[in-house]
Amino acid sequence: MHAVAVLAMDGVVGFELATPGQVFGSVADGSGAPLYSVRVCGPKPQVRVSAAGMDLFTMAVPFGLGELLAADTIVVPAHESSASVPPEVAEALRRAHGKGRRIASICTGAGLLAETGLLDGRAATTHWRHAAAMASRFPLVRFDPEMIYVDDGGVLTGAGVTAGIDLCLHMVRADHGAAAAAAAGRRLVMSPHRGGGQAQFIAPDEAVVGDGPTGELMRWMIDRLDRPLALASIAAEAHMSVRTLHRRFLESTGVPPMRWLLTQRIGRAQELLETTSLTVEEVARRSGFGDAAVLREHFRRKLETTPTTYRRRFTGTSAGSAGPP
């Protein structure tokens, strides 16, 4: 039996606390015997459980930190608390990793993992709203805000909330194969592999624009999304070299400037598709893609869909649709 330990401290998010139990608990062998055991553990016997900024209830934590070392897999859910990781928890996580245990975080749990240094030099993801802040707080971690989850050899990170289900299904797939993950997915009424990354869920009007000179430059770029923008002209506007511009963007957003610009353009196209009846050709022109073929190619690559399918999905106008996903 594969042992899974879920770390719970004050402010742990209820949904993500329950996700590992829900996913791993639904995996069984041919005879129906469970393949995973899931235990909630932590440094304190009682914790506050939160959701969306509210304290929901107080919960007893049945197991101590010793479970982290006994487990095969450790899951660190998001916590709505600004407190740092207690030293004994950080030490337990590092020791578990040193013993070859698999460690995964969900949503802002990546920040707790990053505090321990276990993400240093690794690729990781987190909820898109927190990606820029985390990238600047933990410069040694290569955050990719477009991924639903990232598996970097024994240390895994998942994006926001429901992406924790994708991450856990990925671990089931790695442990017991695609059929086991598909069966678990069916029980959860969840696709065993969600395509498209979290880029498709980033709200266009919530584009990550930081403070300071880079933030001003980002706003300047957003104001000109419908026009051709070359790296050299952006660097000239910022009064810095292309190389330094590249560094500033990596520091504040975690991605290079033109990748960031592309994300904003896709966001603009998404917004226009959702809120207007403009033709795809016109949407492409107004979001800086030039023509519809280029827009379709980027939608296919980034969102794994087409502009028309996207519009149907998010406006709920297609037959058989039950509304936005």
Partner DNA sequence: TGAAGGAACCGCCATT
Partner DNA sequence: GCAATGGCGGTTCCTT
Q: Count the residues in the chain.
A: 325
CA gap 314, 325 in Å, rounded: 8
The two three-digit tokens of residue 220, written as one number: 């300047």
Contact range with DNA by CB under 7 A, out of 2-10, 122-130, 178-186, 230-238:
230-238
For DNA, the closer CB: 19 or 253: 253
- Minimum gap (Å) between residue 231 Cβ and DNA: 4
| CA separation for the pair 102, 174 (Å, rounded) | 12
User: Where does the chain show beta strands of DSSP type E?
Assistant: 2-7, 12-13, 36-41, 46-51, 54-60, 73-76, 102-106, 123-124, 142-143, 149-152, 155-158
Q: How far is the CB of 120 from DNA (least distance, A)?
A: 15
Q: Is 285 near DNA (CB under 7 A)?
A: no
Q: Which is nearer to DNA, 94 or 259 (CB)?
A: 259
Q: Angle, nearest 10°, between helix axes 242-253 and 128-137? A: 120
Smallest gap from Cβ 140 to DNA, in A, equals 13
Q: Determine, following the binding rule CB under 7 A, whether residue 292 of this chain makes contact with DNA.
A: no
Nearer to DNA, 99 or 243 (CB): 243
CB of 222 to DNA, least distance (A): 16
Residue the block writes with tokens 């990546």: 110
Contacts 24+ apart (CB under 8 A), 175-181: 175/2, 175/35, 176/27, 176/35, 180/27, 180/35
- What number of chain residues touch DNA (CB under 7 A)? 24
Per CB under 7 A, does 307 bind DNA? no
For position 226 contacting DNA by CB under 7 A, the verdict is no
Q: What three-state secondary structure class fits 317?
A: coil
Quote the least distance from Cβ 89 to DNA, whole Å.
Answer: 29
Applying CB under 7 A, the span of 34-42, 79-87, 121-129, 285-293 interacting with DNA comes to 285-293
Apex 9 CA angle, 5 and 14, nearest 5: 80
CB of 255 to DNA, least distance (A): 7
The window from 87-95, 109-117, 118-126, 288-296 that contacts DNA (CB under 7 A) reads 288-296
Mark residues 231-270: x for contact with DNA by CB under 7 A, - for none. Answer: xx-------xxxxx-xx--x-----xxxx--x--------
Q: Does 294 bind DNA (CB under 7 A)?
A: yes
Can you tell me which of 52, 83, 230, 236 binds DNA, judged by CB under 7 A?
230
Residue that the structure tokens 């070859």 belong to: 100
**Cα(182)–Cα(193) distance, integer angstroms:** 8
What amino acid occupies position 220? W
* Site residues (vs DNA, CB under 7 A): 230-232, 240-244, 246-247, 250, 256-259, 262, 289-291, 293-294, 297-298, 301
